[in-house]
Amino acid sequence: MSILSSTLSSNYSPQHHGTQKHNRSLYISIDSNAGSHPRAHRRQFLLLQMASTMLSLASASASASSLSMHDTLKGKVKLGSNGLSTGFVKTKSFGRVSMSIAVNVSRFEGITMAPPDPILGVSEAFKADTNDMKLNLGVGAYRTEELQPYVLEVVKKAENLMLQRGENKEYLPIEGLAAFNKATAELLFGADNPLLKEQKVATVQGLSGTGSLRLAAALIERYFPGAKVLISSPTWGNHKNIFNDARVPWSEYRYYDPKTVGLDFEGMIADIKDAPEGSFILLHGCAHNPTGIDPTPEQWEKIADVIQEKNHNPFFDVAYQGFASGSLDTDAASVRLFAARGMELFVAQSYSKNLGLYAERIGAMNVVCSSADAAVRVKSQLKRLARPMYSNPPIHGAKIVANVVGDPTLFNEWKVEMEMMAGRIKNVRQKLFDSLSAKDKSGKDWSFILKQIGMFSFTGLNIAQSENMTNKWHVYLTKDGRISLAGLSLAKCEYLADAIIDSFHNVS
């Protein structure tokens, strides 16, 4: 009687240079004492077919890299291009046939698939959609009325200047381009700010806003061990990732009130008061992302009062200076308020939005210190952290910013273009509100859309309603209901209003 048995086992075989390769082998044994009887031949043939099938399946599922066969006595099994064949040489008697598959198992088997990015993943889904009415309102990138990417004219002029000068591509210092650092600090704090004249601000060029935040997080982890960062609820999706990656503990403070679709100011103040003394309070300088809801000037004063009383550390993220209101000075007012009080603070900057330099990764990290000596020491440690992280920053975007801000003519042209971009978004915001108000007969108040500022609007739609926007209406947005008005045209405002009204009223 023939017996078919299989055993799956793992073993390690030494490779070159002392390393080891993880192999997995499948052993199949066929035993027969039936001699050369025709029925025995038939039985052996069927068993080999079964063995072939098992080996093929094992090979396919485990991505086998090699297959070895040992035949004993007079029985032989052939290998074909697809693995084991069922043919064998007829003999009068059969002994034991042993076959094995050696499977290479990756040392990365334990690494799981990462979830898609909640924002960038929206763009990927949008690209795959073939519907003519589709809208990408997920990623915060400015678009023209024709919904095309826009390169600022002032940027083109600055780049032409760089070509005419024939500037080289040598490494920048670790802290970045000196002309950029000077220009960006003056843009943020004001050129005549005493802090700059007294050299109390440590400024280093960073990899846009994200890289600048990450650099500051590394400084907090190293020199403020155990200090907690408080971030708004909700906030930009990458904030949590940055502090998690830097191993800096964080918690949330109340910010958005779903009942009013506005600021929960009392909750915000209470949570800042309750935070452990010396916490870092992450604040959006202007155009809060994702809600578009900013404190009033009077509320900013109260926030500063509480932070000072609790001896907290203000930490500003400024990603939209000049792009929110159209005024560089207006959008920097919150930062300048805190700085004027003599408070030490962190400020991360980005030029992705206001100069459209998304791919150039240009930004800065500023630390306002109580003395010039402290600023020198802080800057030295920021450089020390940057060196093993990315060594030194890119030059192209830094020179664009330095040329634009440093040239009075280009600087004035830039302000005009920023006003144009901010104005287009304001017009779209108004048209969307008008369309919602005209089409929605339920009496719902949509005025919160006009009260919000910047490129984003927090619609108040929940996850199910946001999914309906995408699945039924081909409108792509983040799951929290945030839409980027920069990706909306006046021509499509009514279509978007229909989608919002349907999702809000017909999806629970």
Backbone angles phi, psi at 406, to 5 degrees: -85, -10
**Residue 412 burial (10 A CB sphere; 0-12, 13-18, 19+):** exposed
DSSP per-residue string spanning 63-121? T--EEEEEE-TT----EETTEE-S-----S---EEEEEEEEEPPTTTTPPPPPPPTTHH
Which listed residue (264, 271, 294, 317) is catalytic? Answer: 317
Per annotation, catalytic residue among 236, 250, 446, 473: 236
Nearest to 177 by CA among 404, 398, 411: 398
CA distance 488 to 436: 15
Asked if 236 is an active-site residue, the reply is yes
Does the annotation count 414 as an active-site position? no
Q: What is the token pair recorded at 135?
A: 């809208």
The 10 Å CB-count burial string (b at 16+, else e) for 358-389 is bebbbbbbbbbbeeeeebeebbeebbebbeee
250 a catalytic residue:
no
The one-letter amino acid at 287: A
Segment holding 256, helix H or strand E: strand 256-257
CB contact at 8 A, 119 and 103: no
- Choose the catalytic residue: 157, 353, 399, 431: 353
| Closest among 27, 33, 24 to 3, alpha carbons compared | 33
Q: Give me the active site residues, please.
A: 236, 317, 353
